A and B are shown apart, each in its own frame.
Chain A
């Protein structure tokens, strides 16, 4: 509330032409009511003045009212206003609007606690012309400066400084640049103030050059295009200002360079962790067991669909989240894929251990069957809403953001590696797995039940693939054929490059491929950039060349493939 009052004072000082009556006292909601009514009227002059007056109320909730109005959420019927944004359908698919309070956009409830509704065909939409919409957008920005939500405030702060600049926001921005509690917004507000000062052509040259120096010191990426534009008209600027411009631009470009390189490396590591996670399961089923497992991608798909099933059971949706589903989905996706792995091993793979090429065809067929089964059950088009904590990211340095989802995958990947390492090297099961891998007949002679070990190993590889599919739902889409379209080639690429039969190889090659491809992608040669298409081509060329020199991959393995 303090902020609102403060806003009034600023505005009063700044906007002499504003009608005093509106600013003199706290605006009563009934007053907003009259303004809203004026805004909805047919008279365009009344409309314009009402929008202006509404913008000056400084009430954050009015921003919502304006937004609803701009989007055409206001409807009339016999002189009564109905506001609704979302609609729902009853069981006969009739459409009803869910009513909102016209004065603040909050839901209108009936006595049973349900939101009131109205048949959409009982009302007429209030038409809003483009000119009005543009006016309303500007008013919205002004009001959002005092929003309670940080993100909204931040967006508004940035928007004010974009051309056409909103000079009427200046006093408020100045205030925010000093007293805003959120440091990120405070920083952005200061940036906006400086940007507006720089472009104020009538301002003192001294003020402009000070602002330029400050922007350079802030390494403001937002200022770069503005300064570049100024330099286009170099001849009209005083020489000292030009050199200020150039100094600031040099600093910003240097910062941009660092941001880009840092970004590339972080993105590379993130892509690498995705690739490693994808390939880990395959490193077990193909690398260690020697099965050319073409159904590996489908195991990931099973994991992703298990996650979807959990989302359904926990009734998690984007607008009413229940994040526990994602916790439950971790073991479930592992178990679901492992279970499918057990069935596939028992029915198909176990008969083909000594015939690797036939395992290729058989597992490919298994993959197709799995795809079609899932397609029949779920259809092609399902959505998984990531848990709400995975939205957004953390700013690791100025202007470099790492999404939470990718950080999670990095840790999940590390966890899986740790788990496999522990299992293989510290447990009895791992000992047996390694024994069977190295010499099946000898292990058999020494009393190891190789059939059982094979079953466990295949289930483990499939389960890990399931976890990869689970993690994938955070950053990518889910379709029945995602395994074949997205995963299988990359997974084999990583395993083969890393060296068949060596788990450490997967980590190094996955990370290597990830980082190299992210370093190639933004490369520029003259005017031409690699981009994703040529980055992929270049990466494959590098891998082909690499395999020529090291046919066994990064680490020559001691897998079952060595028996032959």
Chain B
């Protein structure tokens, strides 16, 4: 370990002589091809935009940021290889990356082995707390519980159809939701759970079942359907004559970016729960949206000025600023010192003021519920008072009150 640090120091020293201005390298680990490219390319774009903004203001600690972009191609083992390459060959100070939980699980041992740092920007199923990762997306309690509360208390829903893609996030999310609903007096018979494989396209049977389930009214769908399955699901739902009036869908994985690929008018009135919407009305957010669109237009990225911002995009963006602010505070890029500086740090994100948690690596955020409008944006219909503190481990899953210790961190 010592030897390794020495090498870094030497390289830096050499670089200092070679280059007129010093640059600190950061890694960007998002799939630019394959299944996940649809979501992850936007994150690369916004991280690069944040880097450009920081560089224009003079960089961090007098050093410019030099972003290294790699493409793990939606291939989970390749994520680990590329992460290792970023850490050992490119010697990055920090990495911003991953979308799916399986990709994060794949790189986790690498970051823990080399005691490097990863900023992970997407809502996920929780049940993890590595000292080498900062999670800027939501934990289940920062998305699911306020949504379920809204459904039952504001819309008067009595029956819940939990529908998801068959992998770890929906399964854990539904466990948390179910535990919450049962604890709040919803009888087991009124909760239905169902999963579909990745890329599932034929939702005829399921929509038929939802119709039967919701015939008596006061029923809703809580959807953790992921990726390209959403389009056929919503299309079938509308075509079978179901609307948000009959049975509203509360989605946890559909944001503005996903709505770009959908036929919106039949979806008006359905809901989504996030920590950020493009429609948040504040000057900070407006200039963020404007800058992102102008950045995409200027760099001739696909979609250009039609691009939208959404929750993961905001989380990826402010992640860079949190790291930069923590480096300034710590006065160094050293992982262990920066980590300490991140804890409890307060910052202004485009969606409003937020704070990193004092110890559990996650982010304190507000929870917002939005209703889909005809123009593909969300009308914010509910917002929690203040910030919701993240649970890295859900008390609904650890009923005995004991939680695992965090993993990773500096080697002893």
Contacts from A to B (Cβ < 8 Å): 71-72, 85-87, 89, 92-95, 120-121, 125, 130, 133-134, 151, 155, 158-159, 161-164, 221-226, 256, 260, 263-264, 267, 270-271, 274, 318-319, 372, 375-386, 390-393, 395, 401, 403-406, 474-479, 481-482, 485-486, 518, 521-522, 531-533, 536
Contact = CB atoms under 8 A, between A and B. Distances in A.
Interface stretch (B7-15, B190-198, B319-327, B391-399): B190-198
Given A531-B194, A533-B166, A381 B205 contact: no
Contacts of B246: 155, 158
Given A125-B281, A477-B231, A318 B263 contact: yes
B266 A391 contact: yes
Contact of B240 (A87, A376, A403, A486): A403
B384 interface: no
Interface size class on chain B is 35 or more
Given A381-B257, A477-B261, A482-B228, A392 B239 contact: yes
Contacts of A85: 373, 379
A3 B159 CA distance: 35
Given A267-B205, A391-B238, A392-B239, A134 B261 contact: no
A95 B379 CA distance: 15
B35 A222 contact: no
Given A271-B202, A477-B231, A372 B33 contact: yes
Contact of B204 (A89, A163, A270, A382): A270
A381 B38 contact: yes
Given A92-B290, A267-B208, A533-B166, A159 B217 contact: yes
B204 A401 contact: no
Interface string B9-34: 00000000000000000000000011
Nearest to B291: A93
Most buried by A among B236, B239, B286: B239
Contacts of B241: 392-393, 395, 401
A225 B216 CA distance: 6
B236 A134 contact: no
A386 B195 CA distance: 27
Contacts of A319: 264-265, 374-375
B175 interface: no
Given A221-B215, A383-B262, A392-B239, A533 B195 contact: yes
Contacts, number: 195
B37 interface: yes
22 contacts: A71-B381, A72-B379, A93-B293, A93-B294, A95-B286, A151-B243, A159-B245, A161-B217, A224-B216, A260-B212, A381-B258, A385-B263, A391-B238, A474-B235, A477-B261, A478-B261, A486-B199, A522-B208, A522-B209, A532-B195, A533-B195, A533-B196
Contact of A71 (B215, B375, B379): B379
B351 to A, nearest CB: 15
Given A403-B239, A478-B231, 7 more contacts: A92-B290, A222-B215, A377-B302, A383-B261, A392-B239, A404-B239, A531-B194
A221 B263 contact: no
Nearest to A270: B204
A383 B217 contact: no
Interface in B371-401: 371, 373-375, 377, 379-382
B299 to A, nearest CB: 13
Given A477-B232, A532-B200, A94 B375 contact: no
Interface string B46-83: 00000000000000000000000000000000000000
A161 B373 CA distance: 27
A532 B163 CA distance: 12
Contact of A479 (B38, B301, B371, B379): B38
B38 A380 contact: yes
Nearest to B287: A93
Nearest to A123: B281
Given A92-B290, A391-B238, A121 B283 contact: yes
Contacts of A222: 215-217
A155 B241 CA distance: 11
B194 A94 contact: no
Contact of A226 (B199, B216, B265, B294): B216
Contacts of A121: 281, 283, 286
Contacts of A405: 235, 239
Contacts of B154: 130, 133-134
A12 B199 CA distance: 55
Contacts of A86: 373-375
Contacts of B293: 89, 93
B217 A163 contact: yes
B178 to A, nearest CB: 15
A251 B236 CA distance: 28
Contacts of B238: 391-392
B100 interface: no
Contact of A379 (B206, B212, B302): B302
B37 A380 contact: yes
B349 interface: no
A134 B156 CA distance: 9
A381 B261 contact: yes
A475 B207 CA distance: 13
Q: Which of A164, A274, A381, A482 has the most CB of B within 10 A?
A: A381
Contacts of A161: 217
A393 B264 CA distance: 17
B243 A155 contact: yes
B260 interface: yes
Contacts of A381: 38, 257-258, 260-261, 302-303
Contacts of B377: 87
A381 to B, nearest CB: 5
A522 B216 CA distance: 20
A194 B301 CA distance: 58
Nearest to B42: A381
Contacts of B374: 86, 318-319
Contacts of B302: 375-381
A94 B286 contact: yes
A94 to B, nearest CB: 7
Contact of B260 (A151, A158, A377, A383): A383
A503 to B, nearest CB: 24
Given A72-B381, A95-B286, A481-B34, A225 B215 contact: yes
Centre residue among B196, B204, B232, B261 by max chain A CB count within 10 A: B204
A270 B202 CA distance: 10
A486 B201 contact: yes
Contacts of B294: 93
A71 B269 CA distance: 10
B228 A386 contact: no
A162 B196 contact: no
A315 to B, nearest CB: 14
A476 B216 contact: no
Contacts of B86: none
Contact of B208 (A134, A224, A263, A485): A263
B166 to A, nearest CB: 6
A260 B197 contact: no
A386 B286 contact: no
